[in-house]
C-alpha cells in the first residue's frame, strides 16, 4: 500500500493493553498527517473537587484511590505538598522509608507494564498468555518481580493496593527490621531476574530506528536517582516548584476528557523513564551502567520504543536501592510521625510516579480545611508528544499496510505507558 498520493483514514476505537479507555484516529492526505487525535473518553472522577472541604490529613487516603497501580505516588506527592505548605520538616529516616515504599511501586508498576502490556507487542503476540506459551521462563521473571514489589508495598503500606500506612507527617507505624529482612531474598532474586530480562530484551528485541528531539521534564537529585523528591528540571533548566503553573500551561481539546500540559511556549514535554534516564544517567550505579553495555540501550536515549529497556533499568535500580535501604535500616525508637497544627497555607509537592512527575498543590485554611486543590498526573504531560510520535511514524511509513500501521500506532502509545484513568480531569458542560 502507498498512501503518498491518496487519502488514508486510520481508526482504533479502543486501545489494547493500556490502563484506561482511549482510541486513535488519524487522517492523511498526500502523505501528510492532517489530523491525529489520541482520544481519551474515560469519564472524569472529580477527585480535586472531592478534596475541597476535607481536612488536611485526608488527601493521602483519598488521592490513593485515583490509581490502583501507583497509589504510593499520590500519597507521597500529597503529603509533601501539605508538609511544605505548613513548613513541616520530615526527618531523614522517614523520607528513606517513603523511598523504600516507593521502590515497591516502581517495581510492581514497571514489571506490569514491561511484561504484561508492552513486551507482547514487540513479539507480535496478542496477549501475555500467548507469549507465555513460548517464553515461560521470561514471563516467570516478570511475575516474580511484580510479586516482590507488591510484598514490599504491603510490608510498609499495610496492603498492596491503596496502602493505608502513609499519613501527613510520616507513617502510622514503622516496620520491624526482622520483617523487612524477610523481603531480602525475593528482592535479590528479583534483581537477578530483572538483569536477565534486561539482557534478553536488550539483545533480542527489535527496536525501530525512530528518534525525535524531546523536551524532558523530571526531577534531579544530586545524591541519588530521583524517586520521592528532588528539584524539577525542564531540560537543563531548573523550575522552582512554586513556578510550576506559570512555567507550564494547561490546555483542553474537544476530543479528550484529559487535560494536556505543555511548556508555556506550547512546546510538548515528555515525563517518565526516558526523561529521568536522560537527566539522571550519571546517578545510576556503576554495575548497572556496565550491564547496559551488553544491550542496545545507549545514553542518551531518544528512541521511545526503547523505553521498555529504560523501565527495566529503573526496576533494577529500585531492587538494588530497596535492598540497600533494608540492609541499612536501624529503627531506634524514633517517632513514626511528626505532629503539627495546620495553618493557612499554600503548598506544592512533586514526586516521580512510575510514569513521570506527579504534581499536587493544596490551599489550606487556618482550621486545616482544604479550600483548593490541583493534581497534574504524568500522562497529561505525555499526550501531545505521543500524538507527535504518531504523526512522525505515519508520515515515515507510507508503504505499510493498515494492519501494520495500526499495530505500530498502538505500540507507540504503549511506549508512554499511559494511565488514562489518572489523566481524566475534564468534563465538558453545555448550559442550555
Cis? peptide before 300, omega within 30° of 0: yes
Q: Which domain holds residue 417?
A: 47-423
Q: What is the pLDDT of residue 428?
A: 47
Q: In whole angstroms, how far apart are CA 361 and each of 79, 81, 85, 236?
A: 10, 6, 9, 24
For residue 213, is it within any domain?
A: yes
**Residue 432 grid cell:** 442550555
Indicate whether 217 pLDDT > 70: yes
pLDDT confidence tier of residue 425, bands split at 50, 70 and 90: low
Average pLDDT over residues 9-27: 93
H/E element, 315 = helix 307-327
The 10s digit of each residue's pLDDT in 229-280 is: 999 999 999 999 999 999 999 999 999 999 999 999 999 999 999 999 999 9
The 10s digit of each residue's pLDDT in 274-303 is: 999 999 999 999 999 999 988 999 999 999
Residue 246 — φ and ψ, nearest 5°?
A: -100, -35
Average pLDDT over residues 30-36: 93
Which residue is associated with the grid cell 448550559? 431
Q: What is the pLDDT of residue 307?
A: 98
For residue 10, is it within any domain?
A: no
Global pTM value: 0.96
Burial class (CB in 10 A: 0-12, 13-18, 19+), 87: exposed
Q: How far apart are alpha carbons 293 and 313 in whole angstroms?
A: 12
For residue 91, is it within any domain?
A: yes
272: left (phi over 0), alpha (psi -120 to 50) or beta: left
Residue 155 in contact with residue 183, Cβ under 8 Å? yes
Average pLDDT over residues 389-416: 95
H/E element, 385 = helix 379-395
Q: What is the pLDDT of residue 356?
A: 98
Indicate whether 104 pLDDT > 60: yes
139-175 in b/e form (b: 16+ CB < 10 A) is bebbebbbbbbbbbbbbbbeebebbebbbbbbbeebb
pLDDT confidence tier of residue 424, bands split at 50, 70 and 90: confident
Beta-bridge partners for 359: 350, 376
* CATH code for the domain of 373: 1.10.645.10
- Helices (H), ranges, 32-135: 47-51, 59-63, 71-85, 92-111, 119-122, 128-134
Average pLDDT over residues 409-431: 80
| Radius of gyration over every alpha carbon of the chain, rounded to an integer in angstroms | 21
Burial class (CB in 10 A: 0-12, 13-18, 19+), 387: buried
Q: What is the pLDDT of residue 333?
A: 77
For residue 389, is it within any domain?
A: yes
For residue 39, is it within any domain?
A: no
Q: In whole angstroms, how far apart are CA 426 and each of 281, 370, 382?
A: 35, 20, 16
pLDDT confidence tier of residue 420, bands split at 50, 70 and 90: confident
Give the list of residues 6+ apart from residue 15 with CB closer than 8 angstroms, or none.
21, 22, 23, 24, 410, 413
Which residue is associated with the grid cell 524514633? 334
pLDDT confidence tier of residue 429, bands split at 50, 70 and 90: very low
Angle at 419 (CA atoms; ends 430, 42), nearest 5 degrees: 30
For residue 263, is it within any domain?
A: yes
Q: How far apart are alpha carbons 297 and 310 in whole angstroms?
A: 8
Indicate whether 206 pLDDT > 50: yes
Indicate whether 30 pLDDT > 90: no
**Residue 363 grid cell:** 490551599
pLDDT confidence tier of residue 1, bands split at 50, 70 and 90: low
Indicate whether 359 pLDDT > 50: yes
Q: What is the pLDDT of residue 317?
A: 98
For residue 11, is it within any domain?
A: no
Indicate whether 112 pLDDT > 90: yes
Indicate whether 2 pLDDT > 80: no
Q: How far apart are alpha carbons 87 and 393 in whole angstroms?
A: 48
Structurally, the chain folds into a number of domains equal to: 1
Q: How many residues does the chain have?
A: 432
Q: What is the pLDDT of residue 29?
A: 93
For residue 329, is it within any domain?
A: yes
Average pLDDT over residues 173-183: 96
Q: How far apart are alpha carbons 61 and 170 in whole angstroms?
A: 13
Q: In whole angstroms, how far apart are CA 330 and each of 174, 177, 184, 197, 333?
A: 11, 7, 15, 32, 9
Amino acid at each position: 500500500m502507498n498512501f503518498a498520493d491518496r487519502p488514508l483514514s486510520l481508526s482504533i476505537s479502543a486501545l489494547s493493553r493500556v490502563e484506561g479507555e482511549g482510541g486513535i484516529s488519524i487522517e492523511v492526505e498526500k502523505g501528510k498527517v492532517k489530523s491525529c487525535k489520541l482520544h481519551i473518553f474515560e469519564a472524569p472522577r472529580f477527585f480535586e473537587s472531592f478534596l475541597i472541604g476535607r481536612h488536611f490529613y485526608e488527601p493521602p487516603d483519598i488521592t490513593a484511590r485515583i490509581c490502583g497501580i501507583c497509589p504510593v505516588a499520590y500519597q507521597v506527592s500529597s503529603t509533601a505538598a501539605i508538609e511544605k505548605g505548613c513548613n513541616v520538616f520530615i526527618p531523614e529516616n522517614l523520607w528513606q522509608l517513603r523511598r523504600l515504599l516507593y521502590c515497591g511501586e516502581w517495581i510492581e508498576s514497571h514489571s506490569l507494564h514491561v511484561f504484561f502490556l508492552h513486551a507482547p507487542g514487540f513479539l507480535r503476540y496478542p496477549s501475555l498468555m500467548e507469549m507465555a506459551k513460548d517464553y515461560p521462563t521470561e514471563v516467570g521473571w516478570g511475575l516474580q518481580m511484580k510479586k516482590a514489589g507488591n510484598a514490599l508495598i504491603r510490608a510498609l503500606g499495610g496492603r498492596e493496593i491503596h496502602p493505608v500506612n502513609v499519613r501527613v507527617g510520616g507513617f502510622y507505624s514503622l516496620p520491624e527490621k526482622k520483617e523487612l529482612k524477610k523481603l531480602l531474598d525475593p528482592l535479590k532474586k528479583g534483581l537477578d531476574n530483572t538483569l536477565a530480562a534486561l539482557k534478553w530484551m536488550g539483545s533480542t528485541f527489535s527496536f525501530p530506528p525512530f528518534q525525535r528531539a524531546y523536551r524532558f521534564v523530571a526531577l534531579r537529585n544530586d545524591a541519588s536517582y530521583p524517586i520521592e523528591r528532588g528539584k524539577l528540571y525542564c531540560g537543563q533548566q531548573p523550575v522552582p516548584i512554586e513556578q510550576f503553573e506559570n512555567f507550564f500551561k494547561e490546555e483542553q481539546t474537544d476530543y479528550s476528557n484529559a487535560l494536556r500540559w505543555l511548556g508555556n511556549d506550547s512546546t510538548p514535554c515528555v515525563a517518565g523513564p526516558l526523561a529521568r534516564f536522560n537527566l539522571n544517567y550519571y546517578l545510576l550505579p556503576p554495575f548497572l551502567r556496565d550491564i547496559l553495555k551488553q544491550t542496545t540501550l545507549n545514553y542518551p536515549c531518544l528512541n521511545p520504543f526503547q523505553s521498555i529497556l529504560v523501565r527495566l533499568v529503573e526496576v533494577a535500580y529500585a531492587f538494588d536501592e530497596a535492598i540497600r535501604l533494608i540492609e541499612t535500616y536501624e529503627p531506634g525508637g524514633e517517632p513514626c510521625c511528626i505532629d503539627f497544627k495546620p495553618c493557612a497555607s499554600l503548598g506544592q509537592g512533586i514526586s516521580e510516579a512510575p510514569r513521570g512527575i506527579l504534581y499536587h498543590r493544596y490551599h489550606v485554611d487556618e482550621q486545616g480545611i482544604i479550600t483548593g486543590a490541583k493534581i497534574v498526573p504524568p500522562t497529561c504531560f505525555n499526550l501531545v508528544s505521543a500524538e507527535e510520535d504518531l504523526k512522525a511514524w505515519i508520515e515515515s511509513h507510507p508503504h505499510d499496510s493498515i494492519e501494520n500501521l495500526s499495530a505500530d500506532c498502538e505500540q507507540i502509545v504503549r511506549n508512554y505507558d499511559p494511565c488514562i484513568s489518572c489523566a481524566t480531569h475534564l468534563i465538558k458542560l453545555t448550559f442550555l
